[in-house]
Chains A and B, each alone.
Chain A
């Protein structure tokens, strides 16, 4: 840093006698000798902090970073910056539940940035023949990923970056797991999933499809040929209703099996009236799938609407398509006809009871308040659990439960062989969303690399922690340069209290018109239009760049002590002349985005 010392330009006088004083009093010296920096007890420093969106993202996506590059129209750079932390923008740009947008500080001014739409835009920009930059050379270790869902894909991607030789095993004919078999095509077109897999294959990831663990290959075989194993077999076992009548009735199916059958190209016979039981995303997806197959659909949920685990936007869109929701209602028993088809469902009204351990209230039956719901098909979507039969010989206590992991996602199990076992995605106890699965894949890949190098994983995770600890940063593990070349303080999160909203202009976000529910429900075509490049640039320009300097000059303008030195012409940002900075803190309070911190000297 070439800061010219202004204190060296001080002109100072010492009067030895009255003769030195000029007859006319003219000042010819300056006060530069007076280093007012000595008054200071706290000093301002420029720091890159973690914006609220990145902090909220389970995968620690550096949203501000790629929005800044996108704003500069550097599409290619922005795309690769995005892929540093979140490898599948075309997928998550469609199905993510937008934890970032809920946290976006812009919502304190007008409305949050349409981050998911922008991410989708970035994902769709992907050029198919690009080679992956900065992939490390082979490190000689082999990783077997069991399951090609989002967690497995993510682990394969990051591990490949770290130089592992990766093989993905999946029992299905096509890869994708829940992305292909659980998420309906209207939300995630199949070719998008296929394109992301093409990318993985181009990176050098080997695919072994149609290979089921325990049937085609044993876990012991894998454990003896590979150095690491990542279990990402998801949660594909549906929980069933505790009702005696349900056995032997062909018109009762689980929500997941309905979604899987439709995804495989079947069109199951559902009849005129379909009743879906449950309030999660599977229930809503199943209901919307059933309505697309031409049935009338009622969803029964035993709690109230606000307690539904399903995403509110999906619920709203389901309503638009004609799905009827009945809250505070639970099935009592099923009345079957002699030919084992359903006649009707006897339900009971519920009332919110005392809260349970998770804080949600336990619904209680309203005695005598029963009512009938006519139904031809009953779809149960009351939850899914991991199917862990293949692991049971080595880990007996996993039966019907999830896989217990350490913080580094390693699993303590006794599989004969050399491999270290890790697990992630829906097999664990994390929330069951695609982005959480992607995050677990990233964690596991970094943990494996730490294990290979003999590093302390917990310590490394602390060093690369994003914000207050939801996620870890892959680019910091790789020591990739950030967008702003300034000191980082990634553990400091910039929330709404730290933003000076007075400096931002209100500008409504772009909300695209989507097809009407009537039109949507006629097929499985995706209906969310993508942003045009112009719209994407307009939306990206709304980003407030919380916690990251944009060289807006506010500090330069407001410093009362002329102690901010501009260096934007030679390099990035500003320098502070600590010879004179009195530490008043005006630059800190007037920084619109909290890119300055005051620290004790």
Chain B
């Protein structure tokens, strides 16, 4: 996992950055959106290069985004690699233990590399997932905002 991330974040290649963005979205995509996309897909033949397997990944963080790196905690990750009939290879690392989500995410990644299929996957899956994740993060930000305490007012009363 670190290998992929490192090579993408250091890369100046726009295609690779776009793929990293899509892989990041697919990693967090909810099962319902993936299944809805897959339902309209029909039968797609592929072979496994690496069957879905579950494991732990150490997540690192920096306090305040600038401090020293520390191990934040382990998270469960399911990963797999598959190859389509056309020879395109798709990889997936997804949160949680769902092998099905990993399979669909890898399928989407493989199709995104095929110029003929990429547009349909972008419209049918990537865009809805991006919109869903954006609204989720906005919702949780709004919820957090509502609990904000104005210490400023308290300080005033003491005067």
A and B bound? Answer: no
- A residues at B contact (CB < 8 Å): none
Interface residues of B (CB under 8 A from A): none
